[in-house]
Copies of this chain bind each other. A is one copy, B any other.
Amino acid sequence: MIKENYTINSAELEKKTEWFIGKCREKGLKVTPQRLAIYRELMKTDEHPSAEMMYNKLRQDYPGISLDTVNRTLITLHEMGAANIVEGSGDSKRYDCNMDEHQHFKCIKCKKIYDFHHKPFDDIKLPPNINKKFKILRKTVYLEGICDICLEENE
């Protein structure tokens, strides 16, 4: 199912806010007005905003807030498990001239990208409602984790 025009109701928002406050305390992070505002703003949208987009929204209600705080807080949210960084984002572009079907595994420590080819991933079926609504140009199965070399180094 495609989720559209998502709006969280206020009860849900308060519940999530409570959860977030608990999570902060648990991790020894301070509950500042900015952190709350950023988290709540992110809860309220389904736009997968960038830091810049959030900053523009937030400064309407919090004129003093700065873009770096938004940036830093989003990273904090990600680290504490309260937000995801959406795939397809960040870092600089990386190129590849292997035009055969294949997939990538990226090590989040050393940033190395490994090719692999797993036949079943070539053939995954797209959900029909998506396929009908949008024109799909590329489908990607993408794995992230820690590579064998970095795993060894940790021990």
Q: Interface residues, chain A, CB within 8 Å of chain B?
A: 1-4, 6, 39, 42-43, 46-52, 54, 74, 77-78, 81-99, 102, 104-108, 112-118, 120-121, 124-127, 130, 133-148, 151
Separation in Å of the A57 CB from the closest CB of chain B?
Answer: 12
Main SS class of interface, A: mixed
Most buried by B among A78, A116, A134: A134
Q: Compute how far the CA of A147 lies from the CA of B137 in the bound complex, rounded to whole angstroms.
A: 11
On whether the beta carbons of A145 and B141 are closer than 8 Å, the reply is: no
Separation in Å of the A47 CB from the closest CB of chain B?
Answer: 8
Separation in Å of the A2 CB from the closest CB of chain B?
Answer: 5
Residue of B with least CB distance to A139: B143
Across-interface contacts of A6 in B (CB, < 8 A)? 115
Apart from A121-B124, A135-B145: 14 A-B pairs, beta carbons within 8 A: A2-B115, A3-B117, A47-B112, A48-B104, A49-B94, A86-B104, A87-B142, A88-B88, A88-B91, A88-B104, A89-B90, A133-B148, A137-B144, A137-B145
